[in-house]
Amino acid sequence: MDKVIQTICGMLQSPDGMRRCAAAMVIAELRPKQDSVVKALGDTLKDANQLLTRYVLEAFEAIGTRAVVPYVLPLLEAQEIETKLRAAAIIANAGGDNVSSLRDQFLKANPQQKRVLVDILARIHNREAMQLILDVLFDTDFELVKESCQAVRRHIGDAEPKERAALHRQIAKFMTTSRVKKNDRVLTSCLLLIGYVGAPDARKILLKYSTAKNLGYIRRNALIGLKGLQYTGAAVNPIAGQMLKYLGEADYPNVVQNALDIIEKLPLGKSYDGQWRKLLKSKHLSVRAFAARKLASNDNPAGNRLMMALLAHEDPQVSEIAAGALARHKGATALLLAALTRERKAERAWRLAKILKPHSESVDKRTAKKFAALAARALQAGEPRYETLLYFLRNIDPALADGVYREVGLKYKKARKWAKAVDCLRQIARSEGFDNELRFELGICNVKQSAKDLAPHLRAEDYALRAFQALLQVKGFKLFDRLKKEKALDAADFHYIGFHFSEGSGEELRFGRKNLEHVAKRWPKTKEGKAAKNKLKLPPKSQAITPTPIAQASAAE
């Protein structure tokens, strides 16, 4: 086996780059521990390219001996980030015996190299490495200090519970030294480290520095440290009580927001609902919003009544949180329906209708009919909220909303309020419920409010004539007989219809002449009656080639 290893090590000196890479890969698989192998790999690094360097470092990782560290240390200054990070990991994994070497490296390192070295130290998790990090906290380079704290935060998850406890004790003792007590900046960094390490005793120290007798930036870091801890069991209520006291303070960025972040991660039950209600009156926007979110999680009668009240809260964020909760809570349907029934202001009614949209499936037929009647009355009375009620109905049953327009439209027709009738019936002209009967009724209303201008281009745009032409093509629909039964139609209406269709051909011509004959017979002495007689005396125009304007318009549709 030794001869095989020697042969492979000899390949590391080959002029062929691929053979050298292959030799390093084989050593990584065999993992020999001999010093001669480590030296051969280390010598290879002196003239290795990036690819060969990667395979040599992989071999060093596989071997896992501290003997590789002297060869890897120079790579901390490598230009390639991948090489630098892998070298740092190898040194860190080699263990605490290398801290003295790292200390020597640190003394002569430039700022960028120091950042790499503190990252390595943070991975080692022993007393000597942590002491070096604590000493860095006195450095005038504040960015290096921050990086040191962040390095501990990144790598502390790999530490064992015993290591965490030992590191915590070391940092806590360091904080009691005169050097630290005289330097607030170092103290604040220590507070962060205490929180990142997260030992069980951290809460007591951090709470001590979070009180109002401390400076704002010290309190800030103590609270940030507290945010990194996990709270369970008996620790929950004490920390919640302390943080609730801080929410009323004026220092929002340093104290209030951090205290709020801590409270948000605590598993607090319904017993705190009274506290959340009090916080709705807080002077801080985020505190009010937090309280609203906490209370919004309760889908029960009391909680939903509160959310209904919060819809009118002066803080828009609180109001929106309440609206979102009511939209989600199945138990809020009855409250929302009752509120929509009472609401007279259009803007508030719109909001309620939109909140109710997710509840559409929960509305029974009886309630839906009740709102249909309410919408019909509002539409007839001209109340602005009728649109809101119809929007609500359309989400439940589109046919029900169409029925309201149909009912009210026909009532307006009966009352001879033609414009209002047209407005209603046109709303459902494109719906599935728009049948031939409604087309006829809308045609009657349109002809009553028509200008009855005989100009061909105006006739082509007349909705009434278009409707009657469509009905002429419906088999079994006796259009002329239906028109004669309409008491609202007078001589001018029949003459206008007859004049236009008498210029057509086939069924249109016959329909037009029937209308003219009816005018001439029933209103013989009126100007329409005389005009009808004159029109009847004229020979029918040939429409075989040139269709009427009405026919052109219908064909285009």
Query: What is the CATH T-level fold of the domain 452-556, as seen in this structure?
Result: 1.25.40
pLDDT given for residue 135 in this prediction: 94
Q: Which amino acid is present at 154?
A: R
CB count in 10 Å sphere of residue 5? 17
pLDDT given for residue 556 in this prediction: 38
Helix residue ranges per DSSP H, 249-345? 257-264, 273-279, 285-296, 301-310, 316-328, 333-342
Q: Of 33, 38, 11, 15, whose CA–CA distance to 23 is shortest? A: 11
Burial of 259 (0-12, 13-18, 19+ CB in 10 A): buried
Residues 513/536, Cβ–Cβ less than 8 Å: yes
Burial 457-479 (b: 16+ CB within 10 A, else e): eebbebbbbbbbbbbbeeeeeeb
pLDDT given for residue 406 in this prediction: 95
Burial 110-141 (b: 16+ CB within 10 A, else e): eeeebbbbbbbbbbbbbeebbebbbebbeeee
CB count in 10 Å sphere of residue 105? 20
Please report, for the chain, the start and end positions of each structural domain, with discontinuous segments joined by +. 452-556
CA torsion sign for 377, 383, 389, 394 is positive
Tens of pLDDT, residues 401-451: 999 999 999 999 999 999 999 999 999 998 888 999 999 999 999 999 999
Tens of pLDDT, residues 63-84: 877 777 777 777 777 778 778 7
Q: Which two three-digit tokens encode residue 325?
A: 């909760």
User: What is the 3-class SS of 182-219, one letter each residue?
Assistant: CCHHHHHHHHHHHHHHCCCCHHHHHHHHHCCCCCHHHH
Q: Which two three-digit tokens encode residue 2?
A: 């030794």
pLDDT given for residue 543 in this prediction: 44
pLDDT given for residue 1 in this prediction: 54
Q: Is 538 helix (H, G, I), strand (E, B) or coil?
A: coil
CA distance 283 to 83: 53
CA distance 453 to 457: 9
Residue ranges, the chain, pLDDT below 50: 542-557
Q: Which amino acid is present at 118?
A: V
CA distance 319 to 324: 9
